[in-house]
Amino acid sequence: MKKTKLILFIALFAMVGCTQKNKPTESVTIITHGLRFCEGTVAYDTSVLVSNFGTEALNPLNNERKGYISIIEDNEAKVFIAPDQYLNGPKGMAIKDDFLYVADVSKIVVYNLKNKKSPPQLIYFPTGSIFVNDIAIKDHTAYISVTNSDKIYSLDISDPYNLNEKHLEEFVTIPGPNGLIIDGYKMYVASYAADEVTTDANVIYVIENINTPVYKKLIDQPGQYDGLALKDDKLYFTNWIGAKVGYIDLATMHVEYLPLDNLSLAGPADITISNDKLYIPNLPASQVIIYPLK
C-alpha cells in the first residue's frame, strides 16, 4: 500500500477514476457504506472482516486512533469492532483460536473475539518499525511483515491470553515484505518498496520451508505488490503499479490478470478469499470489491 507522500496523487487518481462512465463488471459487487480507507481483509466463519483507518484523510501511518474493524455479511458492511482508541492505521489481519491479530503501524493489536469489549493486547515492534503490515499464522507462531525495515518477525502465540514482546524475534530479512500467506510450510511474500522506488527486488517471493527460511523469487516482474490469497493452486496478488489484480498459476507459473479495468480500481490492498469470492479493498476509494471466482 502507498505511503504518505503519494496520498495526494492517489486521491486525485481515485477521483478521476470515479468520473468514468463504464459500468462495473457484471456480477461484481462493490461495497462502500460502512467503510473508510479500508486496507485489510480476513475470512471469519462465513463472513469477512475489513480493517479501516477511519480518518478524514488517507494516511496509513496516522496516529489518530480512529481505526475500526467492519464485518461484511450479506454484501453489507457493519461495525464489528468500533473505534476504541487502540487502532490507528490497521492493515493486515489473521485469526487463530478466537483471537484477532491486527497489524497497525508500529504494533500489532490482539482482540479476544469472545469478549471484543475487553482491552486488547498490544505488541510493539523495535524502534523505527513504522510499517507493520501483514500477519500469517502457522501452528503457534505468528509471522509479521514490517515493510520499511525489510524484516519479517515471528511471535510465539502458544499462550494467546498472555502475549509477550520478549517472544518477538527476527525471522528473515527480505526486500520490502508486505502481504504474507502460508500454505503448509511454504510462505509466499509480496514485496513493496516502502520508499516508493520500485526495483528489481520488489517481486513476489517464496520460502519453501518456514523451518529453514531461505527465500527466492517466485516471479521476476517488479511491482508494488500488496495482498496475497491462495485458491486451487492459484496465488492471487494485488499490485499498486497499474492498480492490477491477478494470479500466478503455481502449476505452470503463468501470470493472468483479472478483467477489472472498468471498476476504477485505484489502490488494491490486502485481499482474501471466502466462499469462492475474492474480496479486494480499493483503499483510496473506501470500497471493497467482491469478485466471484466461479
pLDDT in tens, 235-254: 999 999 999 999 999 999 99
Q: How confident is the model at residue 229 (pLDDT cuts 50, 70, 90)?
A: very high
Does residue 25 carry a pLDDT above 70? no
**Residue 101 covered by a domain:** yes
C-alpha cell at 54: 477511519
pLDDT of residue 168: 98
pLDDT of residue 294: 82
pLDDT of residue 261: 87
Residue 243 vs residues 64, 97, 178, 180: alpha-carbon distances, Å: 27, 34, 16, 19
Report which DSSP code applies to 124.
E
Residue 182 vs residues 137, 168, 188, 243, 256: alpha-carbon distances, Å: 7, 19, 6, 24, 21
Does residue 263 carry a pLDDT above 70? yes
Distance CA(191)–CA(213), nearest Å, equals: 16
pLDDT of residue 39: 98
C-alpha cell at 39: 486496507
Scanning the structure block, which residue is given the C-alpha cell 469492532?
A: 81
Does residue 23 carry a pLDDT above 80? no
**Residue 134 covered by a domain:** yes
Distance CA(187)–CA(145), nearest Å, equals: 12
Q: How many CA atoms lie within 13 A of 172 on its CB side?
A: 21
pLDDT of residue 8: 37
**Residue 209 covered by a domain:** yes
**Residue 180 covered by a domain:** yes
The answer to whether 268 and 40 have CB atoms below 8 angstroms apart is: no
**Residue 231 covered by a domain:** yes
**Residue 78 covered by a domain:** yes
Convert the pLDDT of each residue in 179-212 to its tens digit. Answer: 999 999 999 999 999 999 999 999 999 999 999 9
**Residue 264 covered by a domain:** no
Scanning the structure block, which residue is given the C-alpha cell 503448509?
A: 184
**Residue 96 covered by a domain:** yes
Report which DSSP code applies to 193.
-
Look up residue 97 and give its amino acid. D
Helix (H) or strand (E) holding 179: strand 177-183
> How many separate domains does the chain show?
1
pLDDT of residue 198: 98
pLDDT of residue 15: 36
Report which DSSP code applies to 105.
B
Span of 14-23, 32-41, 94-103 with lowest mean pLDDT: 14-23
Mean pLDDT score across all residues of the chain: 92
What CATH number corresponds to the domain at position 211? 2.120.10.30
Look up residue 146 and give its amino acid. V
Q: How confident is the model at residue 147 (pLDDT cuts 50, 70, 90)?
A: very high
pLDDT of residue 1: 54
Does residue 6 carry a pLDDT above 50? no
The answer to whether 192 and 224 have CB atoms below 8 angstroms apart is: yes
Distance CA(179)–CA(190), nearest Å, equals: 5
Does residue 82 carry a pLDDT above 60? yes
User: Considering the chain, what percentage of its residues have pLDDT values greater than 70?
Assistant: 91
Q: What is the dihedral of CA 22, 284, 143, 132, to 10 degrees?
A: 160
User: Considering the chain, what percentage of its residues have pLDDT values greater than 90?
Assistant: 90
CB-count burial class (<10 Å; 0-12, 13-18, 19+) for 186:
middle
Average the pLDDT over 1-25 and give the result. 40
Does residue 46 carry a pLDDT above 80? yes
Average the pLDDT over 255-273 and give the result. 95
The answer to whether 132 and 105 have CB atoms below 8 angstroms apart is: yes
pLDDT of residue 99: 98
pTM above 0.85, yes or no: yes
pLDDT of residue 20: 34
Average the pLDDT over 30-50 and give the result. 97
Average the pLDDT over 1-9 and give the result. 43
Q: Which domain holds residue 90?
A: 4-259+269-292
Cα-based angle 220, 136, 277 (whole degrees, multiple of 5)? 80
Span of 24-33, 157-166, 220-229, 261-270 with lowest mean pLDDT: 24-33
